[in-house]
Amino acid sequence: MLVLAADKVDASAVEAMTAMGYTVDVDPKLTDADLPAHIEKYNILIVRSTKVKADTIAAAKNLKMVIRAGAGTSTIDVKAAAAAGIPVCNTPGRNAAAVAELAIGMLVCCDRRMPRAMRHLAQGEWKKGSFQVAHGLRGRTLGVVGRGFIARYVVEGAKGLGMKVKMFSAGLTEEDAKELGVEKITDKNELASCDAVSVHMAYSANKPETFHFIDADFLGKMRDGAILVNCARGEVVDTAALKEAIKTKGLRVGCDVYENEPVKADDVFVDTELAELVEVATPHIGASTNQASEAVGEEVVRMMEVFIKDGKVENC
Ligand code: MLT
């Protein structure tokens, strides 16, 4: 088996694959545009942020599987892969705690405006009087969009902070809601009326309802000064409308993901206006802990083994 990793994968996974007798080429500099010219000889393609487009699938004459080392397959043309009979897998849940922790951190940062306070302090300005906030988070209501692993960890964290949690998910059962100690909601207006909203839904180009799920209409219904955290995908929030809502109603925002975000390390992030406007902005580091990378790597190797030995495709 010839394996190509077009993004960095955990060293432990590369070691394990090599020990299993596979040849693994790791080339994190390969872009989506480079892939068609490189893919032909490979049997397995592993990616994290690098997009896999239809032209790569068309050139992938020997490819048996694409594995996204992360949650979801939004960066991969799954339709083209399905038409070519190539399964596309991912590693759900393996980095969920890391992402959820970042989201909770953002919630607190947005509420107490810590990064802004820190910027003043770094300039020698003691702005103690400027950072009085109305409430704090205890007793406030958080709307969580989604019901996957990350959403569930966020619920735990928010409840630990004494927040009331409403979970927006049509698929959430009443039993699950009871067990999680949340209120199930399916009305977007009710979601918009929460004191804070944290988005943890999967984005898919094949599900138009997931594109700009948070749009101008939704943002217009949020309260002045409410909090919005997006550690899911940039595409679920309308960036132009978000900027407007920050300017006009003082929305406090935390972002780890962006529309048209850079893919490769050291790429340039162009939307510096957004980074200036929000309370906290990070460069898609939700899953960036060694523990999460190892867990994702382990799952990649496990799925490959199951596929190669038993012909079974998991997490598809
Ligand atoms: C994920 O999809 O699990 C993360 O967003 C992966 C990443 O950090 O690229």
pLDDT in tens, 280-316: 999 999 999 999 999 999 999 999 999 999 999 999 9
Integer Cα distance of 198 and 107 in angstroms: 8
Residues 6 or more apart whose Cβ sits within 8 Å of residue 117:
127, 130, 131
Nearest CA to 8 out of 40, 30, 23, 32 is that of 30
Asked if residue 146 has its Cβ within 6 Å of ligand 1, the reply is no
Token pair for residue 297?
A: 């790597």
- Rounded Cα distance between 307 and 175, Å, is 34
Q: How far is the CA of 68 from the centre of ligand 1 (A)?
A: 9
Give the whole-angstrom CA distance, residue 28 versus residue 50.
9
Beta sheet of 23-26, edge-to-edge order: 23-26, 2-5, 44-47, 65-68, 88-90
Q: Is 261 a known active-site residue?
A: yes
Mark whether 112 is an active-site residue.
no
Among 8, 48, 263, name the best residue to mutate to test ligand 1's pocket (greatest count of ligand atoms within 8 A of Cβ): 48
Task: Identify the band that residue 266 occupies on the pLDDT scale cut at 50, 70 and 90.
Answer: confident
pLDDT at 265 over 90: no
DSSP string covering 18-35: HHTT-EEEE-TT--TTTH
- First-to-last alpha carbon distance for the chain, in angstroms, is 20
- Taking CA atoms only, the protein residue closest to ligand 1 atom 6 is 70
Report the candidate in 47, 97, 54, 55 with the shortest Cα–Cα distance to residue 72: 47
**What is the percentage of the chain residues whose pLDDT exceeds 70?**
100
CA of 285 to the centre of ligand 1 (A): 8
Whether the per-residue pLDDT at 137 is higher than 90: the answer is yes
pLDDT digits (tens, 9 = 90+) for 92-106: 999 999 999 999 999
The whole-number pLDDT of residue 182 equals 98
Its ipTM equals 0.94
Q: What does the alpha-carbon distance between residue 2 and residue 14 come to, in Å, rounded to a whole number? A: 12
234 Cβ below 6 A of ligand 1? no
Region 130-150 average pLDDT? 96
pLDDT in tens, 28-70: 999 999 999 999 999 999 999 999 999 999 999 999 999 999 9
Ligand 1 atom nearest residue 7's Cα:
9
* Catalytic position from the list 235, 261, 279, 299: 261
In tens, the pLDDT along 167-189 reads: 999 999 999 999 999 999 999 99
In residues, how long is the chain?
316
- CB neighbour list of residue 180: distance below 8 Å, 6 or more residues apart: 152, 155, 165, 167
Active site (annotated) includes residue 223: no
Ligand 1 mean position to 91 CA, how many Å? 10
Q: What pLDDT is recorded for position 118?
A: 98
* Domains (range + CATH), the chain: 2-94+290-310 (3.40.50.720), 96-281 (3.40.50.720)
Question: 25 - beta bridge partners?
Answer: 4
192's tokens: 């918009």
- Residue carrying the six token digits 């009443």: 174
| Ligand 1 center–CA 243 separation, angstroms | 24
pLDDT at 224 over 90: yes
Cα angle: 153, vertex 148, 78; to 5 degrees: 140
Cβ atoms of 242 and 235 within 8 Å: the answer is: no
- What is the average per-residue pLDDT within 125-144? 96
Residue 286 CB–ligand 1 contact under 6 Å:
yes
Q: Which of 48, 94, 140, 233 is catalytic?
A: 233
Selection from 252, 258, 250, 247 nearest residue 282 by Cα: 258
